[in-house]
């Protein structure tokens, strides 16, 4: 099956610090998505990436689709307490049989200390 490694598994940071997390795949991906999950809720889309090299921002969040198409990065600048949650990367491999089927990373648990 698909291997999608997300790191780090958890982060404990101070409010105001910047955060970086990444996902790497053993296969080439056509799409990378980044989701955030608050406790007791379903994942909510943060950023979607569709082209290799694409760099997209959403407020304090910036994500990039790696040039090799096997990795993606998410950065959060000037973290605030409400950034707490689990961040998931997800991607879809190249190929017709993969339509609609996303592979999810294991998640990064972010804790922000005031």
Partner 1 sequence: NAGVTQTPKFRVLKTGQSMTLLCAQDMNHEYMYWYRQDPGMGLRLIHYSVGEGTTAKGEVPDGYNVSRLKKQNFLLGLESAAPSQTSVYFCASSYSGTGYGETQYFGPGTRLLVL
Contact footprint for partner 1 (CB under 8 A): 1, 4, 6, 9, 30-31, 33, 35, 40-45, 48, 50, 88, 90, 92, 99-102, 104-107
Q: CB nearer to partner 1: give 37 or 77.
A: 37
3-state secondary structure 5-45: EEECCEEEEECCCCEEEEEEECCCEEEEEEEEECCCCCCEE
Q: Which of 18, 25, 38 is nearest to 90 (CA)?
A: 25
Q: CB nearer to partner 1: give 8 or 16.
A: 8
CB of 16 to partner 1, least distance (A): 29
């Amino acid at each position: 099956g698909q291997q999608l490694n997300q790191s780090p598994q958890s982060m404990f940071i101070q409010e105001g610090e910047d955060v970086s997390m990444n996902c790497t795949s053993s296969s080439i991906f056509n799409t990378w998505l980044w989701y955030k999950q608050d406790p007791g809720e379903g994942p909510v889309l943060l950023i979607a990436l569709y082209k290799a090299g694409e760099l997209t921002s959403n407020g304090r969040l910036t994500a990039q689709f790696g040039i090799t198409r096997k990795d993606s990065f998410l950065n959060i600048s000037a973290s605030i307490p409400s950034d707490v949650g689990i961040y998931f990367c997800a991607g879809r491999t190249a190929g017709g049989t993969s339509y609609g089927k996303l592979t999810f990373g294991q998640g990064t648990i972010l804790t922000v200390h005031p």
